[in-house]
Structure 1
Amino acid sequence: MKGTALQQRACARAEELPGAVLTHPFGANWDVYKFRDKVFMLQTAITGVPIVILKSAPFDARSLREATAT
């Protein structure tokens, strides 16, 4: 899954989480999801390519990157 479909799915999942809040502190081009004032996900297409940035522990991030590379 890539691009806009990934952003839509990530957004839908974030909105299901209790206490998650959508904010726009960097302008309308950035969707920033927070829980208890802590950022856990950012989304944008400002570069022309839709992207999702998730906060994670370094080991988890490495495992996720390896899983998506195959």
Structure 2
Amino acid sequence: MDGEQIQAIARGVAERLRESETVYPFGPEHEVYKVGSKIFAMCTDGPGAPIVTLKSDPEESHVLQLAHPNIRPGWHMNKRHWVSIWPVDAHAPNNPDFSEQLIEELIEDAYMRVVYSLPKAKRPLEYRER
């Protein structure tokens, strides 16, 4: 799967999430997805390839990076709380490809991680605890 395909899947998922908004605070080449004014994902170009960067749990991101060489510490982000999904490339020829399902799950997890970090009043209605 190439970087453009990874970004297309990420966009599709991010755009259909409740109260997700697309903004360009870092310029037109950095497509940022927010919920409640907090970033959960970004589609941008890394060195030589389109990538997707996502909010992640530090422990889960470590496991993901061990299991998938194309999931790496967040490019230009906090390396502990963000990961970047890179396309399969010549530098990692034995690297397993990503499934669409894995990308969807990672986007949804990033979104939920941010949603539950928001004050209840700023969360999408269905995620507010009564």
1:3-22, aligned counterparts within 5 Å? 3-22=3-22
Q: Which has the higher contact order (CA 8 A, sep 6+)?
A: 2
Q: Which residue of 2 aligns with 1:39?
A: 39
Instruction: Give the alignment's TM-score, normalised by structure 1.
Output: 0.87
Percentage of pairs with the same residue: 37
Task: Report which of the two structures shows the higher radius of gyration computed on alpha carbons.
Answer: 2
More strand by share: 1
1:2 and 1:68, CA in 2 relative to 1: closer, same or farther beyond 3 A? farther
Query: TM-score normalised to the size of structure 2?
Result: 0.50
Structure 1 gaps of 5+ residues are none
Q: Which runs of 5+ in 2 are unaligned?
A: 70-95, 97-130
1:10-54 Cα offsets, whole Å, 9 max, x none, are 010101110110000001000000010010001112644101100
What is the aligned partner in structure 2 of residue 68 from structure 1?
68
- Give the alignment's Cα RMSD to 1 decimal: 1.5
